[in-house]
Copies of this chain bind each other. A is one copy, B any other.
Amino acid sequence: MTSKDVTEADIQSNIPLVGRKPDQISTTVNVGDVELSEGKFVVIAGPCTIEGREMMLETGTSVKEAGASMIRGGAFKPLTFPYRNDKMFQLEEEGLKYLAESKQKTGLPVVTEILDVRDIELVAQYTDMMQVGARNMQNFPLLEELGKSGIPVLLKRHFGCGLRDWLGAAEYILYHGNPNVVLCERGITVPHTHQLTSRFIVDLEAVLAAKEWTHLPVIVDPSHATFKRAYVAPVARAALAIGADGIILDVHPVPEQAAVDPLQALGFEDFDNLMKQLRNIASVMEIEM
């Protein structure tokens, strides 16, 4: 009477590499010295966009001091419209160099977004992990080449896609030879809260579901999920409490002046306070942080 829908068995048969087998223990993904794995809570922090050398180094040093395990920074940025004004930085290779310098200075591994399948080699020279943004989640040529590259991949969920599509995308990477995939929930679009709350809402049950369905680590991006500074710390705490394996978030020396998404980045002090809250909660939950 209706269209036959996907069944759980259909999906499981299509994710032999990504799917969790009965009693299978969770996978640990190593990025430099950092272990993303169950029982730990990894914090990745840094500027959404690398706006210059000084701000990148300053932010890297500050988030390290506050206790972050990895540094993030964007050199290639997907923008909804093709117009970039003075404030919309995309430093490309120059930005990657600052990111690498920040890594050298702090000793922390770094992650940056890859947009173009033709840039993989270039970007691979500077980074320890490549982030596939929500909009590229089903860019299959990109997933294939990242699969072949072997470099750790942070695979964000598209804001309009469910678990089936997300796990299928991860399966592409593993199928092409790369087991080092970390899933990242970054918020979905829903009608029910639009405009009066935030642009997206974080789907924390997706973290639970993803951890049931796969053996891969799953983290949360409270910055893009909320798009609102005041919500970042509460959502970060909720991500830890619900059982995520980490978070990735935007930190900026002067958040109000951030080139992109100035509404969502945390300043250094706010980030430091958040880290203290997270360590307190992690300690009573017996999670290593």
Which A residues contact B (CB, under 8 angstroms)? Answer: 1-6, 8, 11, 14-15, 78-83, 115-118, 135-136, 138-141, 144, 158-165, 168, 171-172, 175-176, 188-199, 201-206, 208-209, 212-213, 225-228, 230-231, 234-235, 237-243, 263, 277, 280-281, 283-285
Contacts and interface: CB of A to CB of B under 8 A. Distances in A.
A197 to B, nearest CB: 4
A199 B82 contact: no
Closest 8 CB pairs of A and B: A160-B160, A197-B209, A241-B241, A135-B138, A189-B191, A14-B81, A280-B284, A237-B241
Given A162-B196, A193-B163, A234-B243, A227 B168 contact: no
Contact of A140 (B78, B118, B203, B280): B78
A77 B82 CA distance: 27
A234 B228 contact: no
A36 to B, nearest CB: 19
Nearest to A210: B197
A273 to B, nearest CB: 13
Given A2-B212, A235-B242, A241-B238, A205 B191 contact: no
15 contacts: A1-B212, A3-B228, A81-B168, A115-B141, A117-B117, A160-B191, A162-B189, A162-B193, A191-B191, A192-B203, A194-B195, A197-B206, A198-B205, A208-B230, A208-B235
Contacts of A117: 116-118, 141
A190 B203 contact: yes
A66 to B, nearest CB: 18
